[in-house]
């Protein structure tokens, strides 16, 4: 047949080392099987155990997905406040919070939690995230049906909600065994501003109770995977799934997030027009969280000093108008992603006005400059997604510290980025863009009970676990290495 006549390596690579299931309709999601044409083969192979676990998850999802018999039966549980019958499928419903990068890292975390706890992940994408991604699982949707009974409550979900797990723990003086009747659903509020009760989700002794709840509704904008590695009852399974801890997000993000045909059009047209013929592609993400605090001129100086100190691009020759003739002129294409146009304009102008010292030809491009983060806008999100993906196709990547937008690009690309410190105030810093230790995202707001209450110093739980370190870009955060 057709498949067996192809060299084996081509077939294997198309499925990313077995990460992706075969058999999807290719036309409806061209990126799924064609992303391999745009990047180098990842040196990081998924473990055979991860691959088999993903296939098992897909079976579960197919059996329990929206409108299946099991789904309909489990949905009935919501009509009473406590569990009445027995159910054969349990769910975790992901709800959006914050920007696209935040959403992708928290969906990836929720999926891993679903896999670890035999739950089915359903996502509430709302109107501003339709048309971004393809369906990740074969033969069954991951989109939460619009008629889901609790949907109208998600938007206002806040810390301290009476149906949250944190509240239940608080109401029972932290003694979960005092709760005799299990509720049919609970909210897990795990976004950055969660309270001390919500944080108790991360304690191992509280996890067992959750197993009995058919519907968990989660709100989070965080990459909470590193903390799952600190929960003893998950550790062995996580170790089997991911022998190489640094690749967790890399595998999850490439498994789950395939650009829709609309987004893929933006990505491939940009790539073909500006990047395909370059010898080297450089991605530079400039995320300025506070325009007033970080003047354009200072940020630009920081970028240029990063490029120079880390030798990411050649300098310009101020004394010449024309580069010395040389045989091998390397062409380099730099893609700048930013809400603002000024960094692009300055860098483009710099390489237009003067030649490079070694004769390299530098093309400078920026796909869009949206000026501010638009909320609730589908096209804005498609552009953001396309730019994240374009950055991930780079050979060399510079991200901005603290930005989840950059984390997704580095994970998709399997790249250890240089992390640009966007300065606040009027001074640049000595090390403008140190190299990240791993390609994993940072968990910005882990629960802080690993700090000693009296001294406020960090307990050693983090250093007790190998493969977890403090993030480079925030000392409160933790990441896998």
| Footprint on this chain of ligand GDP (rule: CB under 6 A) | 98-102, 287, 337-339, 368, 370, 373, 380, 383-384, 387, 403-405
Burial class (CB in 10 A: 0-12, 13-18, 19+), 372: exposed
Closer to ligand GDP by Cβ: residue 94 or 148: 94
Where do the DSSP E strands lie in 275-330?
Answer: 280-286
Nearer to ligand GDP, 66 or 477 (CB): 477
- Residue 402 tokens read as 């603290």
Structure tokens at 444: 């910005």
Question: Least distance to ligand GDP from the beta carbon of 368, Å?
Answer: 5
Least distance between ligand GDP and beta carbon 221 (Å):
7
Nearer to ligand GDP, 360 or 387 (CB): 387
Q: In this structure, what token pair is assigned to residue 310?
A: 């880390």
Give min distance, CB of 405 to ligand GDP, in A.
4
* Cβ 14 to ligand GDP shortest distance, Å: 29
Whose Cβ is closer to ligand GDP: residue 87's or residue 415's? 415
First to last CA, the chain: 43
3-state secondary structure of 139: coil
Min CB(374)–ligand GDP separation in Å: 6
Nearest-CB residue to ligand GDP?
99
Q: Which C-beta is closer to ligand GDP: that of 47 or that of 102?
A: 102
Nearer to ligand GDP, 120 or 408 (CB): 408
Question: How far, in Å, CA of 338 to CA of 344, rounded?
Answer: 8
**Smallest gap from residue 172 Cβ to ligand GDP (A):** 35
| Min CB(443)–ligand GDP separation in Å | 13
91 versus 405: smaller Cβ distance to ligand GDP: 405
Residue closer to ligand GDP by CB (options 309, 374) is 374
Least CB distance from residue 300 to ligand GDP, whole Å?
A: 16
Across-strand partners of 185?
215
Kindly tell me which of 249 and 405 has the beta carbon lying closer to ligand GDP: 405
In the complex, least distance from residue 411 CB atom to ligand GDP, rounded to whole angstroms: 13
- Closest residue by Cα to residue 448 from 230, 226, 106, 196: 196
* Radius of gyration, CA atoms only, the chain: 24
What is the token pair recorded at 65? 């997905």
- The answer to whether 263 and 386 are in contact (CB under 8 A) is yes
Is the Cβ of residue 132 or residue 134 nearer to ligand GDP in the bound state? 132
- Residue 255 vs 389, nearer CB to ligand GDP: 389
């Amino acid at each position: 047949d057709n498949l067996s006549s192809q060299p084996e390596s081509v077939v294997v690579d198309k499925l990313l080392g077995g990460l992706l299931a075969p058999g999807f309709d290719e036309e409806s999601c061209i990126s799924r099987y064609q992303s391999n044409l745009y990047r180098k083969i990842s040196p990081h192979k998924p473990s055979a155990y991860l691959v088999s676990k993903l296939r098992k998850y897909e079976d579960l999802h197919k059996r329990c997905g929206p409108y299946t018999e099991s789904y309909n039966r489990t949905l009935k549980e919501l009509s009473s406040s406590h569990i009445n019958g027995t159910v054969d499928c349990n769910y975790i419903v992901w709800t959006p919070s914050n920007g696209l990068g935040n959403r992708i890292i928290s969906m990836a975390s929720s999926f891993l939690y679903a896999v670890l706890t035999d739950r089915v992940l359903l996502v509430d994408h709302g109107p501003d995230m339709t048309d971004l991604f393809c369906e990740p699982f074969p033969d069954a949707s991951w989109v939460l049906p619009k008629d889901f009974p609790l949907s109208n409550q998600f938007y206002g979900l806040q810390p301290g909600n009476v149906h949250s797990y944190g509240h239940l723990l608080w109401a029972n003086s932290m003694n979960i065994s005092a709760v005799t009747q299990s509720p049919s659903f609970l909210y897990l509020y795990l976004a950055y501003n969660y309270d001390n009760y919500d944080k108790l989700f991360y304690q191992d002794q509280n996890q067992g109770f959750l197993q009995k709840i058919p519907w968990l509704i989660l709100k989070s904008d965080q990459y909470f995977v590193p903390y799952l590695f600190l929960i003893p009852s998950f550790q062995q399974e996580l170790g089997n799934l991911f022998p190489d801890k640094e690749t967790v997000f890399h595998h999850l993000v490439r498994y789950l997030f395939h650009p829709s045909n609309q987004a893929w059009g933006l990505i491939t047209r940009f790539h073909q027009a500006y990047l395909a013929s370059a010898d080297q592609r450089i991605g530079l993400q400039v995320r300025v969280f506070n325009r007033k605090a970080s003047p354009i001129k200072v940020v630009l100086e920081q970028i240029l000093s990063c490029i120079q100190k880390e030798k990411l691009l050649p300098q310009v020759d101020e004394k010449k108008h024309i580069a010395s003739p040389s045989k091998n002129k390397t062409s380099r294409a730099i893609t700048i992603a930013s809400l603002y146009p000024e960094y692009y304009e300055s860098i483009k102008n710099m390489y237009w006005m003067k030649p490079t010292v070694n004769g390299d030809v530098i093309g400078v491009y920026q796909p869009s400059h949206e000026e501010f983060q638009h909320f609730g806008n589908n096209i804005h999100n498609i552009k953001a997604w396309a730019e994240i993906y374009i950055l991930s196709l780079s050979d060399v990547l510079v991200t901005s510290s603290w930005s989840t937008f950059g984390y997704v690009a580095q994970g998709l690309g399997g790249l250890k980025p240089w992390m640009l410190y966007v300065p606040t105030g009027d001074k640049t810093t000595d090390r403008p863009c140190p190299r990240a230790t791993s390609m994993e995202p940072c968990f910005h707001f882990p629960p802080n009970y690993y700090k000693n209450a009296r001294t406020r110093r960090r307990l050693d739980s983090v250093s007790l676990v190998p493969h977890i370190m403090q993030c480079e870009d925030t000392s409160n955060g933790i990441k896998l290495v």
